[in-house]
Amino acid sequence: MIQNAVDAIRAVAGARPSVGLILGSGLGGLADVLEDASFVEYASIPGFPVSTAPGHAGRFVLGRLAGHGVVCMQGRFHFYEGHPMSHIAAPVRVMKALGVETLLVTNACGGVNLDFQVGDLMVIDDHINFMGANPLTGPNDAGFGPRFCDMTYAYTPALRRLADEVAAAQGVALRHGVYLGYMGPSYETPAEIRAFRVLGADAVGMSTVPEVIVASHCGLPVLAISLVTNMAAGVLEKKLDENEVIETAATRAKVLERLVTGIVERL
């Protein structure tokens, strides 16, 4: 499956990308502004999974951004869609096989930290895996990485510092915190959110963790940025709604896109 994707991408885009981008719910607009863009639909790749989540286009987009060759995953895969963890891992390994040297990940998340507000951007410093599964389970492919991979610096400190520098130059306020990965698709209960806060989580979401684990296994430096599209269950006296996630992402997407572009320019 991975080789099929690599072959399909190389057939339409000969240039080797150095940066990989995984774009979260409602945040896929960055792929639409790439120069000299080429597109590969997931559905056109034999054996490759297809994204079904709202706000996910479901394709690879290749082109140039801020002078760098990039490959964007415009629409990711989630455990709650029924994909096995091996499928969620595949796109990161495809990017690694294409020659990507740095991975930037974005997501929409719920705010657990009571000091956070809807619309905040948070650099992920670390994560807690509450998905009940790990994408490295099963036989290990030593061609990608070791059987037991270290996660101490999964979120690359130098890239986090770079994000702070670019954000300061752009006048963008950046939070930092711990992201807790939750399987979904139901939102968390208020009691779970209280428990997650005790555990040290600042934000919660249904993605990113598997991709970062696989990137760490591959030896890829990672920067991940979350957009707080809603406060988590029980923080505010209202029900959670997926439409709120998409709407908030749309209002803040340009700020995040400008930040990511500035970071890519500095790589």
Query: Binding site for a purine D-ribonucleoside: which residues?
Result: 188, 230
Burial category of 104 from C-beta neighbours within 10 Å (exposed 0-12, middle 13-18, buried 19 and up): buried
Residue 51 bridge partners (DSSP): none
Residue list for the binding site: 25, 56, 76-78, 108, 188, 207, 230
Neighbours of 194 (CB within 10 A): 16
Distance, CA of 188 to CA of 131 (rounded, Å) = 12
User: First and final CA of the chain: distance in angstroms?
Assistant: 30
- Give dist(CA 229, CA 144) in Å, integer: 34
Nearby residues of 227 by Cβ (< 8 Å), 6 or more positions away: 24, 27, 106, 107, 108, 109, 119, 120, 121, 122, 248, 249, 252, 253, 256
Residues tagged in the binding site annotation for phosphate: 25, 56, 76-78, 108, 207
Q: Under a CB-based contact definition with an 8 Å cutoff, are residues 122 and 167 in contact?
A: no
DSSP state of 233: B
8 A C-beta contact, residue 73 and residue 28: no
Task: Tokens 């657990």: give the residue.
Answer: 112
